[in-house]
Structure 1
Amino acid sequence: MFKLFRKKDIDYNIYSPVNGKQIALEEVNDKVFASKMMGEGVAFQNIDGVVIAPCDGEIVMVPDSKHAVGMKALCGIELLLHIGLDTVKLKGEGFEVLVKVGDRISKGDSLVKVDLEFMNSKGIDLTTPMIITDADDKGITVIGNDSVRKGENIVIEVEK
């Protein structure tokens, strides 16, 4: 009855996967992400080209185009890290994937290295959405940050 006044029971924290600026998903220059068709989440402007695991879990998807990583967190949620907008068309060029499907990963493990010089030369928007693809039945809270440090800033709280 007084659930409204209870303190949130946080089950799991998701941390920033990059160094850079955090932006609201609604501000991403891509209708699919901005409209949250793929799920709830947050996006980042990556300034150093390294994407790390935002939490402990397992790698469940790495496309041949190397532009994304799907993972299942220990708490059960499914996360998609989509590196850049329209990067699928690069067919893997400019990305070095450091993990494979089935790898168990810990928060802070490096997942992908991005060649920033190459991306800039191609005019690629490296906005990096991080989406919880199964957020419908979860208590998800996006934490507002301005600048973020990978593995240090909590960006999403998942309630029990």
Structure 2
Amino acid sequence: MFGFFKRNTAEVEVKSLLKGKVVDLKSVPDEVFSSKMVGDGFAIEPYEDAVYSPVDGVVVQVFPTGHAIGIKTNEGLEILIHIGIDTVEMKGRGFTTYVKPGDVVKAGDRLISFDTELIRKEAKSTVIPVIITNMELVKDIKVSLGDAERGDNIAVIRLK
């Protein structure tokens, strides 16, 4: 009647950023991600060599080395996509970026391509953590683990 009991929780659907295997964040071989120090989310073992936007939003950061990107969704979620583990040490070798800060992206837009074989040779892992860095906005996250095609809905994030 007065809206006292009305729930106003928004949901954000997150699509698979590439063809791969969605895994629990705890399995990532880097304590910063696996302990959820920077936020919660999931990771993907890549089966292809390019990352596409998992959400609609605005690119807020592209790391100079091309190994990571930050996107802010229309709902205010901040999502970090980090390609591989210890890939910052590659100093940009093997990464090509297609967007810059301020670009508006739609789910499915190409963001970064990468050389998987070079990452296997020079970095610790090819796994790609996808992290919500402003968890204070999040009520819960439901992730579908296992194989996914690019564009599949793989996570639902309910906002507070």
Structure 2 match to 1:19: 19
Deviations, residues 72-130 of structure 1 (Å, cap 9, x unaligned): 01111000000000000011100001100000000000000011232234355110000
Identity %, equivalent residues: 35
TM-score (norm 1): 0.89
CA distance in 2 between counterparts of 1:138 and 1:118 reads 35
Q: How many residues are paired up?
A: 155
Structure 2 residue runs without a partner (length 5+)? 1-6
Structure 2 match to 1:82: 82
Structure 1 match to 2:68: 68
CA distance in 1 between counterparts of 2:8 and 2:128 reads 28
CA distance in 2 between counterparts of 1:123 and 1:112 reads 17
Q: CA deviation at 1:9?
A: 5.0
Distance 1:90 1:143, change over 3 A: same
Structure 1 match to 2:152: 152
RMSD: 2.0
CA distance in 1 between counterparts of 2:122 and 2:86 reads 11
Structure 1 residue runs without a partner (length 5+)? 1-6
Instruction: Check conservation: 1:41, 1:142, Cα contact below 8 A.
Output: no
CA distance in 2 between counterparts of 1:121 and 1:25 reads 23
CA distance in 2 between counterparts of 1:131 and 1:101 reads 18
SS of the residue corresponding to residue 119 of structure 1 reads helix
Distance 1:129 1:156, change over 3 A: farther
SS of the residue corresponding to residue 61 of structure 1 reads strand
Structure 1 match to 2:93: 93
CA distance in 1 between counterparts of 2:41 and 2:115 reads 25
